[in-house]
Amino acid sequence: MGSGVALSSVLQGRAQNEVASQAEILMQMVNAVRNYTQNSIVPLLEPRLDTNPTFMPEVIPTFSSKEVFENFRKNRNIETFFIKMQHLIQLI
């Protein structure tokens, strides 16, 4: 009986490690999208914002990373993963 409990504990630990590893990979992907948006997309769209000052959520790195994550979540077997991001925006 004791070996069954020990095996169960080992298996549960492995499962938790696997979930944590998958979550870490997903967060790295989200951060990569945020960096790409900040460094590549925002500079491309800034001139447009100067001539047409309308709100474009695509220039907010958090928006684009959340959109990519949600699309990724729909196409993979990771429906149980969720992401919560907070972004402070300075209003002028």
- Dihedral angle over CA of 87, 90, 91, 92, nearest 10: -160
Q: Are 56 and 49 within 8 A, CB to CB?
A: yes
The pTM for the full model equals 0.59
Q: Where are the domains of the chain?
A: 2-75
The pLDDT mean for the chain works out to 76
pLDDT score of 81 more than 70:
no
Contacts of residue 23, defined as CB under 8 A and 6 or more positions apart, other chains included, come to 81
pLDDT score of 80 more than 50:
yes
pLDDT tens-digit series, residues 8-36:
787 788 878 887 887 787 778 878 888 88
| Tokens linked to 8 | 């169960």
Helical residues (DSSP H) of the chain, grouped into ranges:
2-36, 42-51, 61-75
Per-residue confidence (pLDDT) for residue 78, from 0 to 100: 63
